[in-house]
Structure 1
């Protein structure tokens, strides 16, 4: 494993043509637990094609799922880097959506490494992706933070200080999220086939008791809950969401979300009662469209 910050930051952006269909959107919603109580609420806005609205966080898997002709290898998105998948953790995610995502569509995605921070024993790699439609209108911008163990100590910038602060008052909204035992197996069909989420032996080698849930699954479930509890079930009103990934979630565990209204945004945290209240998503921010 090696990181050459100068080469990675100077590398030509990776360009990809993305296509997705209703099937991809339906699968994404199901992988976040939509329709899990189908006998009482089948949630047709997420599970039925002629009533379908698209959760904005679908942008993070668009063009990678069941309709994709080929899923790009994870490392192909990281020009200038050679990384061991055993040493990488998804540390944080920021998504800003410029307009509603259609259930059938295509986009041109440009990806580049925009920052590499030196955290001493690790490096924090920031990958920025911009998606445009055929008229060159911006659809979304995603910023992914990757924690690369053993890659720090190169004398680089340690990164900005954290400015997020938990409000010193009761949350405005609280809700629970129930993950499912098979959820990681289902979510990986969106395109992230990392064996950490399915292979018990691989997970053990990475230091986990069993395969863990994708961080982006918890992220998407939080976004779905925000749409239901803050935006009256209207997905198009969610304009952006960001969070740092803190503690892994095992499929089947429950999550507890706390949301505070703060100026023109909402702040949130998600914890896991089944893991002693460990913080799962921290420094969370929700933006309206």
Structure 2
């Protein structure tokens, strides 16, 4: 088995990640912020989803096993904010591999990153799972399975954003250098006709649109989503959102054909 199951429960770090207002602005531009969102696009305020980048990229990078990276797909992503994310600062980060599940056709590896601010207070936690195709069948637990359906009514709002043909090239500058998103030959190895957009770019665009509709950035407390289909740069994204309670929103993000690309969405704010 190429996936290192012995990593489950092990902790890596801590390491420190610093960022500036220019970094916050670059991230905002990479997920579509523009002239009408100057607080984000000029780095006066950080988008909460930028916390995923700060926790998971640019410092610690350890392979979880001996596998072809072209066969790795992002499964789920969650961020929980314990405080508003500042536009500049530094964090101390620990990563824990929480589970490795045998899904038959592949292995699902789940990890959590916990970040504390300069005073040592919890700032945010991010959780992510990746699916490694062809690495299943090793006899491990399959893991929990839950059903999810959006509310049985039309969405309260539909939010739209058309990505650019160069969206992946811009988002790559935030620190996610996976060649799946820029290299046609690498993408072909993974079974794609052309490079696809980063799932976390779709996640960030969705976060930005939800904030514009429902709350201020500093009030965001949690966002979760499951990546279900790839997005091609240049595609239009449509976020369907339902208010489900005070400070609670369920959402799905689809492309213009109606194919769901980010599913089981949950967005919470104070």
The interval holding the TM-score normalised by the smaller chain is over 0.9
Secondary structure in structure 1 of the residue aligned to 2:173? helix
Query: How do 1:1-289 and structure 2 match up within 5 A?
Result: 2-5=2-5, 7-35=6-34, 38=35, 41=36, 43-49=37-43, 52-62=44-54, 71-72=58-59, 74=61, 76=62, 78=63, 81-231=65-215, 234-264=216-246, 265-273=248-256, 276-289=257-270
* Deviation digits for residues 87-112 of structure 1 (CA, Å, limit 9, x no counterpart): 10011101101111111100000001
**In structure 2, what is the Cα distance between the partners aligned to 1:170 and 1:12?**
44
Hey, what's the Cα distance between the residues in 2 that align with 1:63 and 1:136? 15
Structure 1 CA distance, aligned partners of 2:105 and 2:74?
16
| Alignment partners' CA distance in 1, 2:245 and 2:9 | 38
State the shift of 1:135 in Å.
Answer: 2.0
| Structure-2 separation of matches of 1:26 and 1:128 | 25
CA offsets, 1:168-195, max 9 Å, x none?
Answer: 1111111111111111001011111111
Which deviates more, 155-164 or 263-272?
155-164
Kindly state the Cα deviation for residue 150 of structure 1 after the two structures are TM-superposed.
1.3
RMSD (CA atoms): 1.7
> How does the TM-score come out when normalised to structure 2?
0.94
Q: TM-score w.r.t. structure 1 length?
A: 0.88
Question: Structure 1 stretch 191-200 or stretch 154-163: which is displaced more?
Answer: 154-163
Say whether the 8 Å CA contact 1:90–1:245 is kept in structure 2: yes
C-alpha distance in 2 between matches for 1:198 and 1:149 = 20
Distance 1:123 1:140 in 2: 27
Pair 1:12–1:111, CA change in 2 (3 A): closer
> What is the SS of the residue equivalent to 1:106?
strand
Runs of 4+ displaced beyond 2 Å: 10-15, 71-74, 80-84
- Counterparts of 1:242 and 1:63, CA distance in 2: 16
Per-residue deviation, 1:64: 7.7
Gaps of 5+ in 2: none
Gaps of 5+ in 1: 66-70
CA shift, 1:216, in A, is: 0.3
Count of paired positions: 269
Contact 1:122–1:152 (8 Å) recurs in 2: yes
Is this contact kept in 1: 2:11–2:94, CA < 8 A?
no
